[in-house]
Structure 1
Amino acid sequence: MKNRIAAGIVLYNPDDINRVQQCIESVLEQIEHVYIFDNSVQPVQLLKTSQITYVTKANGDEPSCEKVNNVVNSSKVNKNYGIAYALNRIMERAQQDGFDWVLTMDQDSILPSGMIPDFRNRINSDSGRTAIFCPQVIDKRRAYMKAERRDCVVNVEECITSASCTSIQAWKDVGGFDEWLFIDLVDNEFCKRLVSSGYQIKRVNRWVLDQEFGKIIPKSKRSQKFWIRLSQLLHNKNIAKFSYRKYVSPLRVYYTNRNIIYANRKLKAYGPVAYNNYNCKGYLGFIISFNLPSLLRARHKGQVFSAIVRGTFDGLSAHVKLWSPNNE
């Protein structure tokens, strides 16, 4: 039986509309159908050649989608519902339309040519419990990030949502994306539930996605070399992050602090969640490797400190239902 693959793109106030167009075009070259969920406060006006129709919010909680020339479905909500909500609506719609897998993309990511035909072949020949096929992901602005050997497929514990091809059945089995998280660590928490349910995440190393994480400016070549070398000597990957300047968003600091506490409370029976994002093994390491550098780098340190405090409090005080595979 042939597995059908759709794609889903979540928009949120894109700075470069042309880049969004390129993203859509790179996907349509390899996939028959694309769903777009627009989380922007002001609707994104894409070129007419993209054959996108914006559909007003339906009565009730969920936005509606409308089929347009068998090419693009678009959901227009005029409000930011968060990445998890948007992804769930995309997966639901794809399931209704008879698709089996969904490739999720960030609005500014360009899909490597030939990746989806390769993923499709792997999906059709896979006999295991694979939930996600994904590429390697690097940010070329960060000189310390290097692609690994490209002739193998590796089982990994987690992956980012961009350019990941996810089984709708697996998504459904574990209860979908956690919408309370809203934005940060949505992918980490979702992947933890997949792996804890016996699913596999397979990274196909021959494919490499260049993905920009955050607003950063690389320092001089000499400075980059110094910090990367020091990181290697001290065996501490976090030191290499001083090879660039970073804009620190108090809002993202808030959600990161809130969500890392919430996710680890929710999944405490299955081991730590998301700490490896910050090259640490536990909460104390998170404070040292994320909160402290965020304060040091921030232009508005008072706002960032307040975000840390509020995020920590909200993460600790949130009502958490302990998760287990039997809950879904």
Structure 2
Amino acid sequence: MRIAAVATAYHPDDRLTAVVESALESCSTVIVVDNTPGAEPTVADKLTGLGGDGVEGRGRVKVLRPGANLGLAAALNLGIAELPEDAEAVLLLDQDSALPGEVVAALAGYLGDPTIGIAAPTPWDAAHDSSYDNLAALRAEVADRTDVITSGMLIRRDALERVGRFREDFFVDFVDIDFCLRLRRTGLRIVQDQRLKLPHSLGDRRPHRLGPVRVQVVHYPAWRLYWIARGAATLLRENLRRDPLWSLKAVLFLASWTWRTAAFEDGRAKHSAALLRGVRDGLLGRISLRHLPEGATYRAAR
């Protein structure tokens, strides 16, 4: 299977180089979309020389610099628009998530089944040597999933064409979940192999105690909480009748984020207000652009 990779970046460091070098082991082409605002050079600008010498190596890495932070969905859409015509699948990667060639090859093996549209590894917290999925022990090693995270997704090319573009109105969070929900509505499956690990960071993850209970909390800036809540509430509104079970999960997710923010966030008043505003806007089908991060540019969904 001929695979191309799309790697998204924002103020990347040398980990992006490792991601691209690793992707070149299994991918014919790697397209890097660097969302860093401005025209100042970044690590991404040095990557076009990777891929080897000679005709076969030339042009295997392409770097796109839109000059603004367009958000994850827009970056993915820009990269996918540059896929070579002969690519049969696309591997999506973050700037800190390197996948060895043997892992990508194992994922590609699942796409031999025409009912499978996405194959994914399991996100792994390397710092704590544990899965981010609290229910992982209850699932089979290879399981059908409702949704998986963007980084590490291996998507069949014809499935990508059936589902369409990533939703840019989500900006960052729930871009992956929305895409997975739409893919499953086409009748295709999503499988995840827990034996294949994707080293990945969800952000500032810290343990807290609430009486005898130990709680892991990911701390995000207030603007990010807005987009998390708006994405969850938007999909809740859109899928309430279509997929009641997933909608229940969305309600529990929002409830969990709300109480964790109120209980453990340092700037809990500001963060809680942003989160609740995101819930309101998602349920009402609205958007507040003042919650974009500094240097970001919003592109309307297409």
Fold similarity call, TM over 0.5: yes
Deviation at 1:77, TM superposition (A): 0.9
- Alignment-derived partner of residue 103 in structure 1: 91
**Correspondence 1:304 to 2:271:** yes
CA RMSD of aligned residues (A): 3.0
Query: Among the aligned pairs, what percent are the same residue?
Result: 26
8 Å contact from structure 1 (residues 185, 274) kept in 2? no
8 Å contact from structure 2 (residues 232, 254) kept in 1? no
Which of structures 1 and 2 has the larger relative contact order (alpha carbons within 8 angstroms, sep 6+)? 2
Q: Secondary structure at the match of 2:14?
A: helix
Structure 1: 4+ residue segments shifted above 4 A = 146-152, 272-275
Which residues in structure 2 correspond to 1:138-287 (within 5 Å)?
Answer: 138-142=124-128, 145=131, 152-218=141-207, 242=215, 244=216, 246-272=218-244, 281-283=249-251, 285-287=252-254
Deviation at 1:274, TM superposition (A): 6.5
More strand by share: 2
- Alignment-derived partner of residue 280 in structure 2: 313
Deviation at 1:142, TM superposition (A): 4.8
Give the distance between the partners of 1:293 and 1:211, measured in 2 at CA: 22
> Mind listing any 5+ residue stretches in structure 1 that lack a counterpart?
54-67, 231-238, 321-328
Give the distance between the partners of 1:281 and 1:268, measured in 2 at CA: 11
Q: 1:33 to 1:155 in 2, by over 3 A?
A: same
Deviation at 1:188, TM superposition (A): 0.9
Letter of the 1:203 partner, please give it: Q
Give the distance between the partners of 1:48 and 1:85, measured in 2 at CA: 19
**Correspondence 1:293 to 2:260:** yes
Deviation readout 1:214-256 (Å, 9 max, x if unpaired):
112457xxx7xx99xx7xxxxxxxx65x2x4643321111011
Give the distance between the partners of 2:177 and 2:226, measured in 1 at CA: 17
Give the distance between the partners of 1:80 and 1:130, measured in 2 at CA: 32
Deviation at 1:172, TM superposition (A): 1.9
Q: How many residues align?
A: 277
Letter of the 1:135 partner, please give it: P
Deviation at 1:133, TM superposition (A): 1.0
Aligned with residue 4 of structure 2, among 3, 6, 27: 6
Give the distance between the partners of 2:268 and 2:286, measured in 1 at CA: 29
Give the distance between the partners of 2:139 and 2:271, measured in 1 at CA: 39
Q: Secondary structure at the match of 1:201?
A: strand
Give the distance between the partners of 1:144 and 1:46, measured in 2 at CA: 30
Q: 1:216 to 1:23 in 2, by over 3 A?
A: same
8 Å contact from structure 1 (residues 131, 166) kept in 2? yes
8 Å contact from structure 1 (residues 142, 218) kept in 2? no
**Correspondence 1:77 to 2:66:** yes
Give the distance between the partners of 1:249 and 1:274, measured in 2 at CA: 26
Deviation at 1:141, TM superposition (A): 3.7
Q: 1:115 to 1:10 in 2, by over 3 A?
A: same
- Alignment-derived partner of residue 118 in structure 2: 132
Q: With structure 2 as the length reference, what TM-score do the two structures score?
A: 0.80
> Mind listing any 5+ residue stretches in structure 2 that lack a counterpart?
51-56, 288-302
- Alignment-derived partner of residue 42 in structure 2: 45
Letter of the 1:302 partner, please give it: A
**Correspondence 1:114 to 2:102:** yes
Q: Secondary structure at the match of 2:173?
A: coil
Deviation at 1:162, TM superposition (A): 0.8
Give the distance between the partners of 2:23 and 2:243, measured in 1 at CA: 35
